Amino acid sequence: MSSEPKHPTESAELPHYHGHRQRLRERFHAAGADALSDYELLEMVLFAAQPRRDMKPLAKALLKKFGSFAEVIHAPGPLLREVEGVGEAVVTQLKLIAAAASRIAKGELKQRHALSSWQEVITYCRTSMAFAEKEQFRLLFLDKRNHLIADEVQQTGTVDHTPVYPREVIKRALELSATAIILVHNHPSGDPTPSQADIRMTKAIVDIAKPLGIAVHDHIIVGKNGHSSLRGLQLI
């Protein structure tokens, strides 16, 4: 009887993507996320959802359908499931990453003076709302030091309209003892250009807030293609 050790057959060898996963991890740890392309970063995100599958084709398919890493993780679940290979584990993993990004951005904003960290305000607003499929109207309530007291989505509408009631906005600011507010809403079309309705609504809120000593610092409109500031555009 031969005493030579048995060699594993080709079918018993580790799948080819195991080495690929390890190389991606090593590159990520050595050079950071900027060293990876969008599809490679998305692959790494999906490793946990599908431990025994090559995720490169799925990552590329998701990017082809939605356009960017951010658009993939914020895409609605039903649209994600239209991509072959996407199941509940993948949807959960993508939504977990989206929630983590929003929580981190909000945490950074809460630790800072809102007006002196305007980029954090914009980052949080875009992370939270830019890729939503329906319009949302969000209010950031600030204290006299311009620190964030509360962040609330007051209304959710359709793909192109959200009903906003100026007196309800100011009523909530008074309930929270806020001395300033920042209005935020998204345009699901992607174009953040303010409409005439946006401008009229903002001016109505300003007119009610001013006599009560509540400042409206800005109305920010976010979309996939950027953001607009009504104050920056000198519309308020």
**pLDDT per residue over 65-93, tens digit each?**
988 888 898 888 888 999 999 999 999 99
User: What pLDDT sits at residue 182?
Assistant: 95
Nearest to 66 by CA among 82, 88, 89: 82
Average pLDDT over residues 178-205: 92
pLDDT digits (tens, 9 = 90+) for 202-220: 999 999 999 999 999 999 9
> Which of the two residues, 215 and 39, has the higher pLDDT score?
215
Q: Do residue 85 and residue 162 come from a single domain?
A: no
Q: Do residue 97 and residue 122 come from a single domain?
A: no
Q: Do residue 122 and residue 224 come from a single domain?
A: yes
Backbone angles phi, psi at 50, to 5 degrees: -135, 80
Q: Do residue 96 and residue 158 come from a single domain?
A: no
Choosing from 76, 101, 126, the residue where a domain stops is 101
Question: What is the extent of the structural domain holding 180?
Answer: 116-229
Distance CA 47, CA 45 (A): 6
Domain count, the chain: 2
> Which of the two residues, 84 and 7, has the higher pLDDT score?
84
The sign of the CA dihedral 102, 122, 111, 38 is positive
Q: Encoding tokens for residue 178?
A: 């806020």
User: What pLDDT sits at residue 103?
Assistant: 84
Q: Encoding tokens for residue 26?
A: 């090593």
Q: Do residue 81 and residue 127 come from a single domain?
A: no
Q: Do residue 158 and residue 184 come from a single domain?
A: yes
Q: Do residue 87 and residue 124 come from a single domain?
A: no
Average pLDDT over residues 150-174: 80
Q: Do residue 172 and residue 82 come from a single domain?
A: no
DSSP 116-173: G-HHHHHHHHHHHHTT-SS-EEEEEEE-TT--EEEEEEEEE--SS-----HHHHHHHH
- How far apart, in Å, do the first and last CA atoms of the chain sit? 91
Distance CA 47, CA 92 (A): 13
Choosing from 68, 101, 134, the residue where a domain stops is 101
Distance CA 23, CA 69 (A): 21
Does residue 157 sit within a domain?
yes
Does residue 84 sit within a domain?
yes
What percent of the chain stands above pLDDT 70? 86
Helix (H) or strand (E) holding 43: helix 38-47
CATH of the domain at 29: 1.10.150
User: What pLDDT sits at residue 112?
Assistant: 64
